Structure 1
Amino acid sequence: MRIINKIISAFRGEDNYIENITKYINSGDFSSNTKYFIWVDKKNFKVNIFTGSKNNWTLIHSYLCTIGKKSTPTPNGTFTVGIKGLYFGVEKGYKCWYYTQFKGNYLFHSIIYNLDGSVRDGRLGMALSDGCVRLEKVNAKWIWDNIPEGTKVYIS
């Protein structure tokens, strides 16, 4: 019975998070030039993707992420999705897949892979990047495939 209660509590916690962040975004007058809006919640290490329009956003994805460490933090503020690319880092001996720019050299991208395809650093839910937002490869690809240039990104 204890295990079932823990599972129920875990689900309730996630439900409360989803409900709370949706209320927060919809009460904040956030808008986007596309039908998508992204909020990077650094406190909870989450990339939250919404669809809709100003004051009428619906959460469609909430991905665990890694953000910048203290010495190279992920910037706070409101930014806009820019260029995209398949991967980078080969000249330095690694690959980060499916990058989507949100400010200058700051990107959403996959965890870090070795050139042979094995995982070099797959840690998520931590502050350890050089400022980029790392995601599971499949989640970085979803953003790369679906989030158009001009989408607003809010980071706090």
Structure 2
Amino acid sequence: MGRKLRLGVLVAFFVLMLSACTYAGTYKLTVNKGTNCVTVYEKQGNNYVPIKAMICSVGANDGTPSGVFNTCAKYTWRPLFGNVYGQYATRINGNILFHSVYYKKTDPSSLKTVEYNKLGQAVSMGCVRLTTADAKWIYDNCSLGTQVTIINNGTDPLGRPKSIYLGKNASYPNWDPTDPNVNNPWHKEGVKFLANYSSLHKTINASDNLTSQQLAEKIREGVTAYDTANNVISYDLSYNIHPTAVGEYDVKYYATDILGRYAEIYGKLTIK
């Protein structure tokens, strides 16, 4: 009787897993190995529409199999080859999973930084590596059975986003800046500007007769923007100034980084 009960439980378990792996949910995912990009498609009416793109790293030496699969398991933390761990893992097929860039242990402050900076390159053992935020998005939103199509190459309808670089000036290089963990110290960081008073309060002469490009270059002198991870980034200007019109004018400097974090500062330009 005990053996029959155990057998029944096993059969029920495998039926449950089979149904999970054949159920198609709201989303479909496409992994483009040629561009290292994942595109999320959402069912809208009778069609699937691209709504989100994710930078990824697929397997080196064509280590990620092409084909159509259905997700069938999820793990908050998952042991990986090499005695390391992936966060928010979703099994695609066999040993192939979506997961974060790997960690040295089941600790979100143990990110392998050099591997994080390889996102966008085919460098994994076969799994599809993602930022922690993107791995968690799939983990949270894509039900078991979600269809995953892995292609060799093709066009990404939304393009491939970039990932932030964790260089020598990164304040917390062993944390993924995208990780929503409440203890993530990156949450306190953001875009910032470096400029002294004189850089933000400039004076030019109307007689200089600067071109619009020369005026913009003058306004930018001495002002530098940095992203959340302290990399130099470009920034925009907002002003309404004619280079030969005498007066005092407000200037706005503003920037948004790859993480979507924003900052702005203000200065003045005097034309005499």
Q: TM-score range by the shorter chain?
A: 0.7 to 0.9
Matched, 1:83 2:73: yes
Matched, 1:103 2:98: no
Offset at 1:73?
0.9
**Structure 2 length normalisation: TM-score?**
0.43
Consecutive aligned runs of 4 or more in structure 1 exceeding 6 Å deviation? none
Instruction: State the alpha-carbon separation in 1 of the partners of residues 80 and 145 from structure 2.
Output: 28
Amino acid of the structure 1 residue aligned with 2:54: Y
Partner of 2:103, secondary structure, is strand
Gaps of at least 5 residues in structure 1 are 1-31
Partner residue of 1:129? 124
Deviation string 1:64-119 (CA, Å, 9 cap, x unpaired) is: 0000010x610000000110001122895432100001101110000012225232
**Count of matched residue positions in the alignment of Structure 1 and Structure 2:** 124
Matched, 1:147 2:138: no
Offset at 1:33?
1.9
Partner of 1:142, secondary structure, is helix
Offset at 1:53?
6.1
Deviation string 1:96-150 (CA, Å, 9 cap, x unpaired) is: 1000011011100000122252321212011111100000001000000010011
Partner residue of 2:35? 44
After superposition, the CA RMSD in angstroms is 2.1
Structure with the bigger percentage of strand: 1
Amino acid of the structure 1 residue aligned with 2:60: K
Instruction: State the alpha-carbon separation in 1 of the partners of residues 90 and 125 from structure 2.
Output: 15
| Aligned sequence identity (%) | 35
Instruction: State the alpha-carbon separation in 1 of the partners of residues 135 and 71 from structure 2.
Output: 13
CA 84–69 in structure 1, closer or farther in 2 if over 3 Å, else same: same
**Structure 1 length normalisation: TM-score?**
0.73
Partner of 2:99, secondary structure, is strand
Gaps of at least 5 residues in structure 2 are 1-22, 152-272
Amino acid of the structure 1 residue aligned with 2:53: S
Partner of 1:119, secondary structure, is coil
CA 91–56 in structure 1, closer or farther in 2 if over 3 Å, else same: closer
Amino acid of the structure 2 residue aligned with 1:96: G
Amino acid of the structure 1 residue aligned with 2:76: L
Offset at 1:60?
1.5
